[in-house]
Amino acid sequence: DDGIDIDVLSELVERAAHLITVCRGRISAAQQRVAGIVQTLETEISP
């Protein structure tokens, strides 16, 4: 049998979903930090 066990597959999918959620949160936080930095730079540059 060269197929993957359904329980193993279920665990892998659950882990992948968790990692996607974590990564989305980290990406969102990074985007907010970058937007804040850009806004600060634009404020400093504006006359």
Query: What does the DSSP assignment read for 1-47?
Result: --SPPHHHHHHHHHHHHHHHHHHHHHHHHHHHHHHHHHHHHHHHH--
Write down the pLDDT at residue 47.
Answer: 72
Position 26 scores a pLDDT of 98
Checking phi first, is residue 26 left (phi over 0); if not, alpha (psi -120 to 50) or beta? alpha
Q: What is the pLDDT of residues 1-47, one digit of tens each?
A: 678 899 999 999 999 999 999 999 999 999 999 999 999 999 988 77
Q: What is the Cα–Cα distance from 47 to 24, expressed in whole angstroms? A: 36
pTM to 2 decimal places: 0.69
